[in-house]
Amino acid sequence: MESEFLYDLLQLPKDVAQPMEEELPRGGKKKYLSPNSKRNPKFEELQKQVLMEWINATLLPEHIVVRSLEEDMFDGLILHHLFQKLASLKLEVEEISLTSASQRHKLGVILEAVNQNLQVEEKQAKWSVETIFNKDLLATLHLLVALAKRFQPDLPLPDNVQAEVIHIESTKTGLKSDKQVEQLTECKSHKDQPLQDAFDELFKLAPEKVHAVKEAIVSFVNQKLERLGLSVQSLDTQFADGVILLLLIGQLEGFFLHLKEFYLTPSSPTEMLHNVTLALDLLKDEGLFSYPVNPEDIVNKDAKSTLRILYSLFQKHSPRAEGGGAHHATPN
């Protein structure tokens, strides 16, 4: 009877669940992710539309593509590249590990460095070498969410993602089971939800007006760049490397940027990202905008993000704003 109940609890066919009963030694424990949790839309969104896309965007310059968190993260190869990229450091581990023992060792070195960076003690971490290496999806998600919150705090993690976990223990009297719910992302109140800005509304509700807004901002930019002998024809593409953006900010805000501080002719995505990140830091220091903008989005030619940045300068330095009437205006 207990086995019948267990199969129903796990929502697995009997021919799949039966080996589990035979293989689990007395005193042994295992945990399983509820199939219902795996099928939950928010759970799938966290995996495929947020974390996987974030990893692939981060590792795009290295031509690394993740298609499955369970199958692609367990041996430490991709985690090695991801953490080095995020933390801007180099780990002394072999690039490719072919044997199970060497993969475990490599994973141990990486997770030790990760835990130190996240200031998480090994006993408190919701992941371990064993769980990651055994393709424990829940442990992998806990690890990636922690890395995202540490290095990409503006990543739009779906709110209140939970997973139902079934714990199985083999005792003298048979198998005992217990259900628990693990929290993967924070449960935010309504007031904590990020607000949509005017450009979200513009692209969503009035896409036909986007071209007019772009034209107005390009005209403003060209007026300001004229004295440098520069001009912009395409807002969508010409700001991706950060060069014109930095020159525009310097011109408007009175900054002198030494050529050693940025790449005047960037030749790689990394150099472009450096330029854009520097530009965003300058804008934040001047308090010109508070809406989070991901520098990778600018490099990837995201029109909405580029407009947000340029509009913050337009608000402050357009003739109308300088006349005192439009510092807090929003696109009409």
Model pLDDT for residues 191-227, shown as the tens digit of each residue: 444 444 566 666 666 667 778 888 888 888 999 888 8
Would 31 be classed as within a structural domain?
Answer: no
Confidence of residue 145 (pLDDT cuts 50, 70, 90): very high
The confidence score (pLDDT) of residue 140 equals 92
Integer Cα distance of 232 and 199 in angstroms: 21
Task: Return all residues near 98 (Cβ < 8 A) that are at least 6 apart.
Answer: none
Here the tokens at position 70 are 């369970």
Q: Domain ends where: 160, 178, 212?
A: 160
Would 324 be classed as within a structural domain?
Answer: no
- pLDDT at residue 98 is higher than 90: no
- pLDDT at residue 240 is higher than 70: yes
The confidence score (pLDDT) of residue 55 equals 92
In this structure, of 123-127, 159-163, 255-259, the range with the lowest mean pLDDT score is: 255-259
- The stretch 176-199 carries a mean pLDDT of 65
Model pLDDT for residues 101-125, shown as the tens digit of each residue: 888 888 888 999 999 888 888 888 8
In this structure, of 2-11, 85-94, 306-315, the range with the lowest mean pLDDT score is: 2-11
The confidence score (pLDDT) of residue 1 equals 40
Task: Return all residues near 116 (Cβ < 8 A) that are at least 6 apart.
Answer: none
The confidence score (pLDDT) of residue 326 equals 39
- The stretch 175-183 carries a mean pLDDT of 80
- The stretch 59-68 carries a mean pLDDT of 88
- pLDDT at residue 17 is higher than 50: no
The confidence score (pLDDT) of residue 89 equals 83
Would 51 be classed as within a structural domain?
Answer: yes
Here the tokens at position 242 are 């950060």
How long a stretch of residues is the chain?
A: 332
Do 145 and 207 belong together in one domain? no
The confidence score (pLDDT) of residue 329 equals 41
The confidence score (pLDDT) of residue 54 equals 92
Q: Domain ends where: 160, 183, 206?
A: 160
Q: What residues are paired with 171 via a beta bridge?
A: 174
- pLDDT at residue 288 is higher than 80: no
Integer Cα distance of 22 and 106 in angstroms: 32
- pLDDT at residue 10 is higher than 80: no
In this structure, of 86-90, 200-204, 310-314, 322-326, the range with the lowest mean pLDDT score is: 322-326
Are 92 and 70 a contacting pair, CB within 8 Å? Answer: no
Do 117 and 202 belong together in one domain? no
Number of domains observed in the structure of the chain: 2
Q: How high is the mean pLDDT of the chain? A: 79
Handedness of CA 197, 203, 204, 209 (dihedral sign): positive
Are 159 and 50 a contacting pair, CB within 8 Å? Answer: no
Residue/partner pairs of 70-77 with CB below 8 Å, 24 or more apart? 70/135, 70/137, 70/140, 71/135, 73/132, 73/140, 73/144, 74/107, 74/132, 74/133, 74/134, 74/135, 74/140, 75/103, 75/106, 75/107, 75/133, 76/103, 76/106, 76/107, 76/110, 76/132
Here the tokens at position 269 are 């995505």
To 10 degrees, what angle do helices 210-225 and 303-317 make? 60
Would 76 be classed as within a structural domain?
Answer: yes
Here the tokens at position 79 are 């985690």
Do 150 and 201 belong together in one domain? no
DSSP 3-state of 254:
coil
CATH of the domain at 123: 1.10.418.10
Quote the domain boundaries for residue 122. 39-160
The confidence score (pLDDT) of residue 142 equals 92
Integer Cα distance of 101 and 98 in angstroms: 9
Would 43 be classed as within a structural domain?
Answer: yes
End-to-end CA distance of the chain: 67
For 168-218, the three-class secondary structure string (H helix, E strand, C coil) is EEEECCEEEEEEEEEECCCCCCHHHCCCCCHHHHHHHHCHHHHHHHHHHHH
- The stretch 277-302 carries a mean pLDDT of 81
Do 200 and 311 belong together in one domain? yes
How many C-beta atoms surround the C-beta of residue 54 within 10 A?
Answer: 22
Integer Cα distance of 242 and 276 in angstroms: 5
Do 154 and 77 belong together in one domain? yes
- pLDDT at residue 188 is higher than 70: no
Task: Report the amino acid identity of residue 15.
Answer: D
Q: What residues are paired with 164 via a beta bridge?
A: 181
- The stretch 52-63 carries a mean pLDDT of 90
Would 86 be classed as within a structural domain?
Answer: yes
Do 144 and 202 belong together in one domain? no
Do 200 and 154 belong together in one domain? no
Handedness of CA 320, 321, 324, 328 (dihedral sign): positive
Would 202 be classed as within a structural domain?
Answer: yes
Would 183 be classed as within a structural domain?
Answer: no
Residue 219 gets the label, from left (phi > 0), alpha (psi -120 to 50) or beta, of alpha
